[in-house]
Structure 1
Amino acid sequence: MPLTAAHWVYLAGVVVILATMIARKNIVVPAVAATFLTALVFSGSLVTGLTAVFNASLVAATNLFNIFLIIALVTAMLHALQVLGADRKMVAPFRGVMRNGHMAFWALVVVTYFISLFFWPTPAVPLIGAVLVPVAIRAGLRPMAVGLVMACAGQGMALSSDYVMRVAPGLSAQAGGMNPNVVADKAIVLSLVVGGVALAIGYALEWRKMRRPSAALLVEWERGEQLATTPAGSTDQVTAPPARRLVASGAAARATMGGDGPASGSAGIPAEPADPVPADGARAHPRASTFFAVFVPLAYLSLIGYMIVAKASASVPDLESGEAAGLVGGVAALIVFLAALVGDGRGFLETSATHLVDGLVFAFKAMGIVLPIAGFFFIGNAEFATDILDMDIQGDGILFDFVAAVQSHIPESGFVAAFAILIIGVIAGLDGSGFSGLPLTGALAGSLGDDAGVSDTTLAALGQLGNIWSGGGTLVAWSSLIAVAGVARVPVLDLARRCFVPVLCGLAAAAVVGVVLLG
């Protein structure tokens, strides 16, 4: 199909959105304006242009609501566990492993990764900060190293694969018409490559800076000053007196967005590595908190084990698209009800509803911004454009038409395509969200397909990694990296600089692995 004025308007919209991201501004207004102009020019009707603004978000919401729901249910589950104090008991056993700086480094990697994989970095940051960070500091790990580990293992490695909740693979696959399970499988492999390289470089940089374990290190850290740079560029300085004891709460977790949006606050940290003060419910139900601290990880580890066996053996039926998220959400919902029943007895009906409402509110605060942005990029896909514009669309869609038009000018090199998608993802992540650019890289990956010598699912996974490692909280200082810096009590700009070289090296390695091994 020949390129029309609508194609060029759509392309201009993409360029403006990318430029707005680079300028560190919110891209909702440019996305809505681009949706209106594209629909207006394409249809020649003002009415269609106006209705497209609404329909684009509606189509996006219809296709992505399962993602919102899984976020809500898992968040509700964590709130229910916090009432019992089970969330802290889940990580408490790992504190005994941190006997020196080297062991603390890798123990923090493991705990941060797995907690973030199951619950996202949003609640993981205050939880780990309250329980494990003081222990790691006392063991000899520098605060800057603590920040690097938490950012790379949580906001980077765990969130970029999002293998359990599968929000990111769903966004990437939806826009490109791919199987989200395949994207998720490739993303977790490549995320481990990025994380492995970045953490190995970070560990090598810290090797000679490890200190002898000492309580004086903790006192020194407690008396330091917490420095965090806000998105607006101002600097807030908060003194943390050693006598003051700040314990991270669910409110702090909700105030601090993970890889799913810009951070709006930082969590408090206990002043010493003693056992954290349990929630009121934990005092009343110590056995219940212990039970749930064991039951919840076992339940989800069993689910992960099932998925692995299903992939490796034909004797176990594999999960269809969406079933994995459904299982995670179903288990989370049941745990919410059980935990509320134990924690609140006769009032569990109201308590359960409150947890679910809080989860939904958080989900829409965290992901609501994605809807108008995804709606614009969905116009580039003929299947979605038909519903958005309420008219038959000829061909494969605007975005695919562009790829077909420039196909002969694109070098048929898998490496060129892989690094191009990766760079676009990194640029798209500059808005500090990590998720808003996934429809763009997913759509581009789907349009390029196998013509570039690399499968569309591999390209989508690379674009996903670029988006989230950049804006999810490792390279961009106005992202949830603020929360990590607040927990470690280090300047956020210094932490972003510290992560820069290790993360870029890891992303480059992932692009090579993706082309050579995953195809």
Structure 2
Amino acid sequence: MVTLTASHIAYLIMILIILILLLMRKDIILPIILAIFLIGFLSTGNILKAVQILYTAIFVSGKRLWQIIVIISLIISMSKALDDIGADIIITKPFIKYLKTPTFSFWIIGFLTMFLSFFIWPAPAVGLLGTVLINPALKSGINKISLASIVSIFGFGVALSSDFFIQGAPSITARAAGIPIHTLILTSLPIWATASTVSILILYFSTLQQSKIQQQNNHLDVNSIDKPSPPFSSFVVSIIAVVLFILDIILMLLFRIHSNAATALIGGTSIIVLIASTIVQKNFLDKTREYLREGFITGMRTFSPIIVISAFFLLGETSMAKEVISPHAKGYLVDLGMYLSQHIPLNKYTVSLLEFSLGVLTGLSGSGFSGLPLIGAIAKTISSTLNLNPAILASIGQIAAIWTGGGTIIPWSTVAVSTVIDVEAEKIAKKNMVPAIAGLIAAYFVTIFLL
């Protein structure tokens, strides 16, 4: 039996305060710092250790985010270099003829993001697509916030919550639930399809309405290109960039390169393209340094508050709590989830809501995967007690966890998209809130029906 301590109660109260502040559009950095110190003090009873925990939590959070900070910074550096030599015009020109209306842009960008995310995961996919599709999308009448929402919903929501091909998420959930992976995937299809369809349709009509308002105000000309014609060297660099990234995709598919390995491949390729973009310019030695400096300054400026925010919510994970507080610590979100499971009446309505709530709760850490072992284990235990299908229960938990923490409605999980497309993470989360929550609620009712 899980017993809630003062630190558990304080952690839950601070989450509620932070969510209220977010809804009020207030900055949450200071409350987050105070919350980390409070949790550190309540969990150890020692002010000195609480001060140390305050630093250690932020340090460990930064260490966990460092890979994504580096890849995003490199992509920004490369994008700036391509932009300066006019290669962005050359690369995006073939897309402009297809992305002439908001409707075409929405579906083409959405499904392209989903397809790549299925095979190489969303973060590398965003890096590949972001620099290529931003200008054509903007010229078609879709603003940056809508573009960021499209990429995050299709990639970090639709594709990642199913993970049909790489099978990272379902393998974790299925193992904990004691069921075959293919059983979980097949069972989750109607639940996943419901959440995805509802979210996409709501986002589509919202984007279309926003685009009409924008076009009326700005009178966008989708065929206009303001920059002069690039030199021949820019065409060569553009061909190199496109060929290398297409080769990356082929290699990822052939050799099943994904996750961190896929990110590393994209990052290395970005450096090569950056070098090619600087060699054709004057003072290319200085240019290389300048582009890298600009990229990392932008990356760190974006991620610095995210590191602090993640430090608090990652304390909800058992592994993070052990690393920061003590080897005997348990994740606060995990404990709160276990406590809920032990104190509610059991029927198909409440257990579905429990799995749904566990997914949302553990997703608050900003990692959609951290709660999957708990979700699978609870589904296994409850299903044997009530004679319910464990795959159905595990599916709604997995989908809720990844839609919440994978990169759609939690601001500190949308930084990959916000940095590449240059949109505030809070604005992306706010734009995604209604489509994602509506999709999850619809998925919950389908789960009840299937049980």
Q: Please report the TM-score for the alignment, with normalisation by the length of structure 2.
A: 0.68
More helix by share: 2
2:292 partner SS: helix
Distance 2:23 2:115 in 1: 32
Match of 1:451 in 2: 378
- Choose which of 404, 417, 420 in structure 1 pairs with 2:338: 404
Deviations 1:442-479 (A, max 9, x none): 55555444213468797455333235433569xxxxx9
Q: Structure 1 residues 76, 423: closer, same or farther in 2, change over 3 A?
A: same
Alignment of 1:47-62 (within 5 A): 47-62=48-63
Distance 2:322 2:102 in 1: 57
Match of 1:299 in 2: 247
Match of 2:321 in 1: 385
Distance 2:243 2:36 in 1: 47
Distance 2:62 2:100 in 1: 48
Match of 2:385 in 1: none
Match of 2:386 in 1: none
- Choose which of 252, 276, 281 in structure 1 pairs with 2:225: 276
Match of 1:153 in 2: 150
Q: Structure 1 residues 447, 154: closer, same or farther in 2, change over 3 A?
A: same
Match of 1:212 in 2: none
Letter in 1 for 2:31: P
Q: In the alignment, is the contact (CA less than 8 A) between 2:114 and 2:158 conserved in 1?
A: no
Distance 2:275 2:96 in 1: 30
Deviations 1:317-362 (A, max 9, x none): x65x622222221222222222222x326x3332222222222222
Distance 1:206 1:398 in 2: 37
- Choose which of 302, 314, 321 in structure 2 pairs with 1:366: 302
Offset of residue 112 of structure 1: 7.4
Match of 2:40 in 1: 39
Distance 1:109 1:129 in 2: 13
Q: In the alignment, is the contact (CA less than 8 A) between 2:203 and 2:435 conserved in 1?
A: yes
Alignment of 1:232-247 (within 5 A): none
Offset of residue 20 of structure 1: 2.3
Deviations 1:71-119 (A, max 9, x none): 1122222222222322333332233336788656644645677899657
1:469 partner SS: coil
Deviations 1:415-464 (A, max 9, x none): 324532565589x6xxxxxxxx515x655555444213468797455333
Q: In the alignment, is the contact (CA less than 8 A) between 1:340 and 1:348 conserved in 2?
A: yes
Offset of residue 377 of structure 1: 2.8
Percentage of identical aligned residues = 19
2:409 partner SS: helix
Q: In the alignment, is the contact (CA less than 8 A) between 1:442 and 1:463 conserved in 2?
A: yes
Deviations 1:365-409 (A, max 9, x none): 2222222222223334443334323x4425x44443333333322
Deviations 1:152-191 (A, max 9, x none): 522422354687xx9xx9xx99xx9x99xx9xxx9xx998
Letter in 2 for 1:387: E
Q: In the alignment, is the contact (CA less than 8 A) between 2:73 and 2:295 conserved in 1?
A: yes
List alignment gaps of at least 5 residues for structure 2.
Answer: 380-389, 413-417
Match of 1:10 in 2: 11
Deviations 1:228-287 (A, max 9, x none): xxxxxxxxxxxx5x7xxxxxxxxxxxxxxxxxxxxxxxxxxxx5333523478x336242
Alignment of 1:500-515 (within 5 A): 503-508=436-441
Offset of residue 290 of structure 1: 3.8
Letter in 2 for 1:465: W
Q: Does 1:74 align with 2:81?
A: no
Distance 2:377 2:354 in 1: 10
Offset of residue 36 of structure 1: 0.8
Letter in 2 for 1:276: I
Distance 1:303 1:122 in 2: 14
The size of the alignment, in residue pairs, is 402
Q: Please report the TM-score for the alignment, with normalisation by the length of structure 1.
A: 0.61
